[in-house]
Amino acid sequence: MNGAQHILEAFHRHNIQTVFGYPGGCIMPLYDALVDDDRVEHVLCRHEQACALAADGYARASGKPGVCIATSGPGATNLITGVANAHRDSIPMLVITGQVPTELIGTDGFQETDVLGMTLGIVKHSYLVERADQLPAILEEAMELTQSGRPGPVWIDIPKNILLEDAVAAPMSTPAQPRAACPDIQDALILLRKARKPLLYSGGGISLAHAEASFREFVECTGLPSVVTLKGIGNPGKHSAYNLGMLGMHGSRAANRAVDECDLLLVIGARLDDRATGRLDTFAPNARLIHIDADASEINKLRSAEVAVRGDLNTILGKLTQALRETPLAISEWRKQCQTWHTTGGFPVADNEEPLAPITGPAFIRQLSRIAPDDTIIACDVGQHQMWVAQHYQFDHPRHHLTSGGLGTMGFGLPAAIGAQFANRESTVINVTGDGSFMMNAQELATIRRYHLPLKLIIMDNQCLGMVRQQQELFYNNRESQINLDDNPDFVAMARAFDIPALKIERTDQVRRGIETILAYNGPMLLHVAIAREENVWPIVKPGGSNKEMIDEIRRPAADKQEKTA
Amino acid sequence: MTTKTSSKAPSYTITCRMNHEAAALERLCQVVRVRGFRIERMGVETADDTLDIILTVQGARPVTMLQSQLEKLHTVAEVMLTSPAIVPAVGCTA
């Protein structure tokens, strides 16, 4: 069995049935082996970046590792953004690249790049395979590593000669042993019972640990008011009575107020990211902090924890639930206060009953949320539409909301939606994107077409880079710089060129019909939604500012004038 | 991310044992730089498949943060802070 066949055998052992890749010179032995293998479905994207992002979307939607494959040189460098995206959001991913033959490494051979060196900072771990007999053990270790503890991408760079060479597995050197987790929760319980105003702050770590059910049970049992990060959206479910929603830069006033006033912050599976906390020295000023996470390096990284519990979140949440079920928390006044804030300080209601009025982003997303089936997966891109989805779509599970949190990768949404559709063939998958983001991986319309994926695409088109324009308006004295996209192509014609039907809407009375039409269509369909260029995401905290200083909607003089005239 | 380290920033000595494999030292040095420290001195000894490294680093951030980031590296078996004071790694329960 040669190196390439060992890779396919590892896929079979680990039940990897779908991989995303793009062939080329040094990875050709693996593609040759694929010809004789009918157990692995290879998805040919049209750009390596899309291969990595599709593998990422597959992993987020399924909870299983995504796999992407590319050749050396430009194939590998094109993967980098997608792998960095997975790294920042701790997504399990196996990355396999061909490399020039061993004897050519370091000679500036054709399509040679130092992949190992240039990717050190964006992987959980990486390997350059030096001998063929190392490959089977490396594959095993990589599969374990990418999923264990805090997940992350693992990259294996394999010289072409090793892919071709027959190999018998050799034992690997013993890896460093992980420290055993010791989830002692007693100190956490003491703080929780002392607190009068405890608040739960959860993030993407819940899903990474596959702990959604344990978390939901914990919240239901304790009745703790909760806020979530962007990646935590979907927990603890849309019917949770005490969920105040997303906190932070574009969070709700209720969520940020609760953080400001709580006396104990119970942080679970979150890393206190700057977009969530705002200026750290004013964040949760009255709160003691309990930090529960799988990754020890996140504890005390940005704010000291009075109590830290590291380990498997399922185990820890189970123990906490059991203890607090026996002795419930006496926090009814605090719950009532949070519910009042939630009623008065949620995201602004944006429904517009005027049929001929222009479509607004929040109103459109609310309508989409009402109409789309419960198991719909929304893959966002990055920008204003991403925040409107986070604010206004009612998610009931975090795996239904795919968003590029840490890296903020424009172009993520379409390939991620492709990956999610392969992971969930029967689910409705919608890529909600902006006109800027869509054009960053628009070539993947060809992939949708090739595999007859029933994906739905919604482009919220304001003919500019809306989030940048908004910040230029608010924080750069309205000096617009390089944000104009009013020469966008005709998106409807573009979709049709890929044999994907499309329609355009621009008035409020067309919204429901437009959404229902694409959802009912048996196949891929694109909805081009024209929205106003000047629309902003509210509220907003100035980057680097305090969450206490949220800015609500600012009425422009022109709008005031129109109102007075009317 | 780049972080300036002033000449007044404290120095620390760290010993580290890790597997001797491709890019091992690059991986270690990159973590030191990215986490806001500068290497002042570095000594390396090899034995079989192991690297024993003594690093003197300078930086204004808490050195325990660097220690925990180095411990995360898959091929690192042990990281010890030997000066100016021995500070335990972040425990499971404070």
What residue ranges do the domains of chain A occupy? 3-164, 186-344, 361-535
Residues of A in contact with B91 (CB under 8 A): 308
Per the structure, how many domains does chain B have?
Answer: 1
In-domain check, residue B40: yes
Q: Contact B68/A308, CB-based, under 8 Å?
A: no
Q: Is A125 on the interface with B (CB under 8 A)?
A: yes
In-domain check, residue B28: yes
- SS3 call for A485: coil
CB-nearest partner of A308 from B21, B23, B90: B90
A467 catalytically annotated: yes
Q: Contact A182/B94, CB-based, under 8 Å?
A: no
Q: How far apart are CA B79 and CA A228, in angstroms?
A: 34
Ranges of beta strands (E only) in A420-522 are: 429-434, 456-461, 502-505
Q: What is the pLDDT along chain A (566 residues), one digit of tens a residue?
A: 999 999 999 999 999 999 999 999 999 999 999 999 999 999 999 999 999 999 999 999 999 999 999 999 999 999 999 999 999 999 999 999 999 999 999 999 999 999 999 999 999 999 999 999 999 999 999 999 999 999 999 999 999 999 999 988 776 555 555 555 557 999 999 999 999 999 999 999 999 999 999 999 999 999 999 999 999 999 998 888 889 999 999 999 999 999 999 999 999 999 999 999 999 999 999 999 999 999 999 999 999 999 999 999 999 999 999 999 999 999 999 999 999 999 888 887 666 778 899 999 999 999 999 999 999 999 999 999 999 999 999 999 999 999 999 999 999 999 999 999 999 999 999 999 999 999 999 999 999 999 999 999 999 999 999 999 999 999 999 999 999 999 999 999 999 999 999 999 999 999 999 999 999 999 999 999 999 999 999 999 999 999 999 998 876 655 443 333 33
Q: Contact B19/A301, CB-based, under 8 Å?
A: no
User: Where in the sequence is the domain holding B51, given as residue range(s)?
Assistant: 11-83
Q: How far apart are CA A314 and CA A218, in angstroms?
A: 10
By C-alpha distance, the chain A residue nearest B89 is: A296
Q: Contact A306/B92, CB-based, under 8 Å?
A: no
CATH of the domain spanning A361-535: 3.40.50.970
CB atoms within 10 A of CB A86: 33
Virtual torsion, Cα A176, A102, A2, A49, nearest 10 deg: 80
By C-alpha distance, the chain A residue nearest B31 is: A121
- Give the minimum alpha-carbon distance from A287 to chain B in angstroms, rounded to a whole number: 17
The DSSP call for residue A113 is -
CATH of the domain spanning A186-344: 3.40.50.1220
Residues of B in contact with A125 (CB under 8 A): 73-75
Residues of B in contact with A297 (CB under 8 A): 65, 68-69, 71-72, 90
Residues of B in contact with A307 (CB under 8 A): 93-94
In-domain check, residue B56: yes
- Give the minimum alpha-carbon distance from A276 to chain B in angstroms, rounded to a whole number: 19
pLDDT in tens, B31-67: 999 999 999 999 999 998 999 999 999 999 999 999 9
Q: Catalytic residue, from A467, A494, A525, A550: name it.
A: A467
A186 catalytically annotated: no
Contact A321, A189 (CB under 8 A): no
- Give the minimum alpha-carbon distance from B35 to chain A in angstroms, rounded to a whole number: 11
Q: How far apart are CA A469 and CA A93, in angstroms?
A: 34
In-domain check, residue B46: yes
Q: Catalytic residue, from A112, A124, A160, A283: name it.
A: A160
Residue B86 pLDDT grade (very low, low, confident, very high; cuts 50, 70, 90): very low
* Second-level CATH architecture of A3-164: 3-Layer(aba) Sandwich (3.40)
CATH number of the domain that residue B39 is part of: 3.30.70.260
Please check whether the two domains, A3-164 and A186-344, share a CATH topology.
yes
Residue whose pair of structure tokens reads 């429904």 in the numeric block: A351
Contact A379, A532 (CB under 8 A): no
Residues of A in contact with B49 (CB under 8 A): 173
Q: Catalytic residue, from A41, A110, A144, A553: name it.
A: A110
By C-alpha distance, the chain B residue nearest A125 is: B74
Q: Contact A310/B65, CB-based, under 8 Å?
A: no
